[in-house]
Chain A
């Protein structure tokens, strides 16, 4: 029963680890540890990616990420990075409107 359960979790593993219980149990335990660790890491990785995507999008309009986020915060625009990267990819004109707002707030002299 237990062996069946473990071997089911070992699908796709390399070599004997997918078929032989005594080898599989070690790899499965490791895999579960990695899953636990990476559920927490996934949130960090996602945020990292959003920031890189927002940075690329704002630089297309002549603003850099740090200034963009700072000005948004000061302007009390509480959009989170997930939404911002989503806008930058799927709604580029809306994102441009945000960047224009940032440029306006930073002053008509241009971007500092």
Chain B
């Protein structure tokens, strides 16, 4: 771990600008930076989430060793952002990557792998999702009804599309989510629909279809920031 030769104290760098910055985490209270010039020491963060101030004797000691860790209320389902992706004509894997990142919360700097800080993702037109090459007829899906030798069933992507089209996208995203209890919970936040209608209008989902397979330099920054909930 690289230690800074000169520890950067955010409050002490005038060039960086005002420290009165609103938090970008949806639902989190606005954070403030305070400067206590009288004692000569700095209390740079007032939020409990940032780090606690330890009293060492008479001196205030800034605990820079505490990193951010989300609180219980940061995983509150009421505060989660909803996203919608239109799958029509989109490549399956690239769509699934985007969905899984937003489900996990990897698009946020407050990403924590052990807690559910992501959002909900709605996928519409899942029956019209596209695959390249010969996968339409060659990609096989295997399953067992009974877990006994000789009872494995196979079907191609085109057959599955006839039978249960939502499962194509669901399978793809599930494979990209972490496996385990948290991954199972994240998977329940994915809502896939075969048609173009979805029953989640009340949650006003943000459209992130344009971010599929977009490099950061090419992505429409306005759309990225809207997806995160910034102005």
Chain A CB within 8 A of B67 CB: yes
Task: Contact check, A47 vs B1: say whether CB atoms are below 8 A apart.
Answer: yes
State how many residues of chain B have any CB contact under 8 Å with chain A.
46
Chain A contacts of B47 at CB under 8 A?
Answer: 90
| Contact segment of B17-25, B75-83, B167-175, B185-193 | B17-25
Task: Contact check, B1 vs A43: say whether CB atoms are below 8 A apart.
Answer: yes
Chain A CB within 8 A of B45 CB: yes
Task: Contact check, B109 vs A89: say whether CB atoms are below 8 A apart.
Answer: yes
Residue from A46, A52, A85, A112 within 8 A of B106 (CB atoms): A52
Which of B16, B17, B18 gathers most chain A CB within 10 Å?
B16
Chain B CB within 8 A of A1 CB: no
Which of B1, B22, B107, B221 gathers most chain A CB within 10 Å?
B1
Interface code A95-109, partner B: CB below 8 Å = 1, 0 otherwise? 001100000000000
Q: Report B178 CB to chain A, min CB distance, Å.
A: 13
Interface code A37-81, partner B: CB below 8 Å = 1, 0 otherwise? 000000100110110111011111111100000000000001111
Task: Contact check, B19 vs A60: say whether CB atoms are below 8 A apart.
Answer: no
Q: Which chain A residue lies CB-closest to B218?
A: A62
Chain A contacts of B67 at CB under 8 A?
Answer: 46, 49-50, 82, 85-86
Task: Contact check, B31 vs A90: say whether CB atoms are below 8 A apart.
Answer: yes
State how many residues of chain A have any CB contact under 8 Å with chain B.
38
**How far, in angstroms, from A52 to B67 measured CA to CA in the complex?**
14
**How far, in angstroms, from A81 to B51 measured CA to CA in the complex?**
17
Task: Contact check, A56 vs B111: say whether CB atoms are below 8 A apart.
Answer: yes
Chain B contacts of A78 at CB under 8 A?
Answer: 4-6, 8
How many A-B residue pairs lie within 8 Å, measured between CB atoms?
109
Chain B CB within 8 A of A83 CB: yes
Chain B CB within 8 A of A10 CB: no
Chain B CB within 8 A of A29 CB: no
**How far, in angstroms, from A79 to B15 measured CA to CA in the complex?**
15
**Contact status of A59 and B224, CB under 8 A, knowing A53-B111, A91-B21:** yes
Interface code B176-212, partner A: CB below 8 Å = 1, 0 otherwise? 0000000000000000000000000000000000000
**How far, in angstroms, from A43 to B216 measured CA to CA in the complex?**
29
Task: Contact check, A91 vs B33: say whether CB atoms are below 8 A apart.
Answer: yes
Chain B contacts of A94 at CB under 8 A?
Answer: 10, 13, 16-17, 19, 21
Chain A CB within 8 A of B3 CB: yes
Closest 10 CB pairs of A and B: A57-B109, A93-B21, A88-B109, A111-B217, A94-B16, A59-B216, A89-B68, A53-B109, A80-B2, A92-B24
Interface of B toward A, CB cutoff 8 Å: 1-8, 10, 13, 15-19, 21-25, 31, 33, 45, 47, 49-50, 64, 67-68, 106-113, 215-217, 219, 221, 224-225, 228, 230
What are 14 A-B contacts with C-beta separation under 8 Å? A46-B67, A47-B1, A52-B111, A56-B111, A58-B216, A60-B230, A64-B217, A78-B8, A81-B1, A86-B68, A90-B45, A91-B33, A92-B23, A93-B21
